[in-house]
Structure 1
Amino acid sequence: MVLTGHSLGRNKFEQLLKQGRLSKEAINATYKIMRRIEGEELGVDAAEMVVTSTMQEIEEQWGLYDGFDLKLERKLRVRRQRRVSCLGRYMPRMVVIPPGMDFSYVTTQDSLENDGDLMSLLGSDDRAQNKTHLPQIWSEIMRFFTNPHKPTILALSRPDPKKNVTTLLKAFGECQLLRELANLTLILGNRDDIEDMSNSSSVVLTTVLKLIDRYDLYGQVAYPKHHKQSEVPEIYRLAAKTKGVFINPALVEPFGLTLIEAAAYGLPVVATKNGGPVDILKVLNNGLLVDPHDQNAIADALLKLVADKNLWAECRKNGLRNIHRFSWTEHCRNYLSRVERCRNRHPTSRLEIMTIPEEPMSDSLRDMEDISLRFSIEGDIKLNGEIDAAARQKKIVEAFTRMASLNSNTGIVYGPGRRQMLFVIAADCYDSNGETTETFQAMIMNVMKDAGLCFGLGNIGFVLLTGSSFRETMQALSCCPVNIEDFDALVCNSGSEMYYPWKDMVADTDYEAHVAYRWPGENVRSMAMRLARTEDGAEDDITEYVAACSSRCYSYSIKPGAKTRRIDDLRQRLRMRGSRCNLVYTHAASRLNVVPLFASRMQALRYLSIRWAIDLSKVVLFVGEKGDTDYEDLLGGLHKTIVLKGTVAYGSGKLLRNEDNFKREDAVAQGNPNIKFVGTSGGQNIAGALVALGIK
């Protein structure tokens, strides 16, 4: 997987906390930001490569995440290159690929030689009569200036305190030489009345007006009230024709698209040294970096570019020569090149997808191909490659034949791919000691019985998802008056193993290979047990449960009353060490299963959906009101869910998350129309729930 993040949650969370307006709890309640952060952490877990815009994004944003450590990533990369074992640890590769831009709107008329239109605007000769053909925004800006012939220093941003426009204005106002050599244009969004703007924007604009008055900058600073987005290119053109400079003095700039836009029009730039501009100027070599807090440094950089025409011309030339590095063509080339390297490192194994075999024609339509049918078709001539009348007639007949075959049950040979629906039993029925209860067997019987009454057993496939081992599952089913062959699949050990009773009782090796990706194996076996214990825990609080272990699952028994770390805490500790695993407390919190990252009960269900060509919307999941710590994952998705009340007495949810993390309602949408509750597992209640879910 290739991950491209945007506006990352941890960085947003820190910024909101620094503002001091909202508490941590209020931020999470408003933005569900802890759920978002966990989603981004899961993305890092699964990603082979993470695409970023700048190095600043890697160091200061992704560096905040548990799943990424720049130093550890480099160490692991060196170990791989030297063919030294990484001991099951992994960090995704972070690569900088700047966003692409469309430069098609930049035309040849933007050259400096073609400055007749500027002369027309300034009215220095007979061409003044052509002013009506010039961009309106030029007149809106130039009307502010006493001497419009001077170069224009252009700043274009929102009126946001973080954009640091007031420091720029102070730098300009206090540098007399800069004021003599240049004008300043501030494009700060659109406004009708400052009083009607948001508080932060109105404060910025009010401060701007006060500073203009303090330094008596009337006739030297333009601050038009309105501009259209389509006029932004003309604003850049005007600044370039006056041999001006573009400046981005933001306190922190994540990337800086305006710098690239300015360079496309031949404008040298002055930019903040905090963030993306460092990478941009390293490529373009068309300007100077400054400390945004140092107004003297800002003034000196602007003065250097405005006063030194040779430096100005060199920066302009460099920007135009290198701007293609930020085109969409270059972006796509870099992106696809990086993706191809990932493909070469991890060649994809071919997964056999079961196809639906063609069925014999039903008796009622067996001779249809021999019947001559006439259809109303306009003309027999092919137009733009369209099929002729005879071919079209044949296709229609074949379509009718296929439809009739699909609607007929005659001659169907059983195979999982022929199922119309899947009923999936995933209720975690354990007592307080983690032993399977009789409710489990009763629920299976009722679900199968109700399915047969409603749809016919031949049309429904049954799948069992459980946190128990294969041996424990077989033992529990042996007490149930159903045939084991009635199940199309058994998914055991929290989604790490899959068996097909109708075929054989051997684990699916393709599935094992599928989930083995990034599985640390033996390297995590003792580490997980050690990290799961709390500091004050005893040595025997957690012990390996060998009977349930397999090559893709390490199981640990939890002593009654023992304190163990919750899933989010344990996952964080493993992530910070570069170990990527899926963790599940099962058997009423008496057992911990450590399985591969891509192994889970829900992922196993998706695997079957793809392999058997059964859409997830045709899957019905039966669960209790609580369950293992992966219970929430089973509730969301395209499938339908029926919650059987009273079937599960003891769950493991208390060991899922700490109190300051996100809540279940942040992960599972309230009022989900795909989820229905029934009082018992009785036939009428289940049948009614199926009808309510649109299943007939």
Structure 2
Amino acid sequence: MFLLHVALQGCLRADNVAYGLTADTGGHIRYLLDLVKASTADGPVRRSVIATRGFESELGAEYAPAPLRVEAGFEILRIGTATPGYLAKEELWREVESFADRLVAWIEAQDERPDLLHAHYADAASVAAIVEDRLGIPFVFTAHSLGRVKADVMGEKAAKVPHLGRRIAIEEAAIARASLVIASSRDEAEVQYAGYEAYDPGRIRILPPGSDLSRFGAARACPEVEASIGRFLADPGKPVLLALARPVAKKNLCALVRAYGESPELRERANLVIMAGNRQDLAALDAEMAGEIRDILCLIDRYDLYGHVAYPKTHRPDDVAAIYAYARDRRGIFVNPALNEPFGLTLLEASAVGLPLVATDSGGPNDIIEMCGNGELVDPNSTLAIADAALRILRDTALWDRYSAAGAKAVASYDWCRHAARYHELLASLLARREQATPPPVDQILICDIDNTLVGCDVGVRRFTEWRSEQEGMVFGVATGRSFHSAMSILEQRDAPRPQVMITSVGSEVYHLDANGTTYTADPDWRAIVQRGWNRGAVLRALKGLPGLVPQAALEQRAFKLSYFSDGDREVTTRVRARLEAAGLRCSVIHSHGRYLDILPVRASKGTAVEFVRQRYGLPENAVFVAGDSGNDIEMLRTIPQAIIVANFSDDLASLPALSHSYVAQATHARGVIEGVLHFRSKARLAWQSAR
């Protein structure tokens, strides 16, 4: 496979990148370089080229236009454009046509053409679209950050930013055009992209970045770092609140300074260390970064934090691990207060060193802290929330120890080799040349719940994958309370087979696998069915303030699903139904695991969705198997004769009269699913033989 990456932004080079040198020399360059290195290390990619914009500037001669050359095992092509000098990212749209013209000319001059383009940022996607129009080479798109998110954060101020509307329009075109959109987190896939008219969840796949965390696990502080930080502090032995980010508004560093300055206890317990990029002179920084540094210095002065806050002007890339270790050795905390963090590589690095996290609840930190269990999520707009979370960890030594130890999971969970393997699989599926043959006939369907049914035992998943590959004529699907992207993530993390049908968000959404074997299409007929009579706003108003109910995070809410935590009271479902009936609302109310409560349109459930899928395939009831383990599977298990309850069930499923027809497996998880299917098949054969 020959991959051509297109990335116009930033001072890009293979090694020793000067992160923070410009406003666009940040995490996306780190991501791109690590991806390319991992992708070319092993596997089907035999050639990788990064095409970037070359320019003449005092920033360095190495960024000048240059022919293809090998750097660190891959190739970098620096293409000159109509404007010879450095341009900020907001101005790069002017260079798209000239960059694309010269890139097309370069491709046509090669002995072989790239199989696929990967566009990084929307301007690169505009280039890739031109290349696709002229040469027919498809492209995938990674946004890295999105203008509409920035506009939402800025509120009314967004209207005064002249380039923002143009950027959003370019992103709309990129999302609509790309063959596949790669997101780093659930928040990006389900919340950030959802604001775009071209949003198509089935074409978005979550692929968390890996990270080379090996050097961070053994990180040690060093005298140079100790000196550069300690010279600011009256008591350098205190715990440290550490932030490491470029000084731009979206990183929200000023909020961290305010949180620290407004909390006497926090100032007493800890020092604050802010590594805000690299600078020699404020006058040499662009306007935004210079303004942020000035604001930070003004806040330090306002709260009289001299001797409590360190803000070194420079640090080397090689110093980063030692900076984390400096904070860890003082039992400190890594704080990321960004207004939105698309992913958060620094969070992974800090986790690998053993630093507990306090991080924004907007973006990738949700996924990282859910996976690792190593910190606290906070509203980045609340200085009180930031301070309270930090104090909870600083006051509780056992909590600090637990969060510190849990960070080790980051090393195993966010691995570039694993990322590259999944990346290659996705790209290979897109490139596969499939013959337009008649699809094999379907004679059976198996629909499984995911959590604690299909997954929960790795050995069982491996056995199920082998068994599934032998089931000709069987459509495999899942039915889950998870969202589409959450379901895809857990299935891929556990190496489960790819479903042909996905019933998600407790039956309120149905997706079908496309012919390319990679992307999915939401079923418009099912959406039309479930939305009839659904009034989401009225349901919210009816349940507001009901005792025993607490809304789950915004990430768990869907267009046709409202999700709450319950207090465990068995009567909560009765109270909810009474409230809804009093408001004249007909809804499905599903309570599971004694804690989770979902409100859905009356026509939506796993059971009705399975029945819809059965009818879509034109199969009889006895050709369908379903398997589950908990209360939100009851509707599905109740309505299908061949119902399987795995041995590790909860919510007293096996004793419910409505499920007396179910087969209760002796095996747990996926092996219980296989056992149940074989049971019903054996039963059907005996019935057929008796009938003869």
TM-score band w.r.t. shorter chain: 0.3 to 0.5
Greater fraction of residues in strand? 2
TM-score relative to the length of structure 1? 0.40
| TM-score normalised by length of structure 2 | 0.40
| Higher relative contact order (CA closer than 8 Å, sequence separation 6+) | 1
- Which of these two proteins has the greater Rg computed from alpha carbons? 1
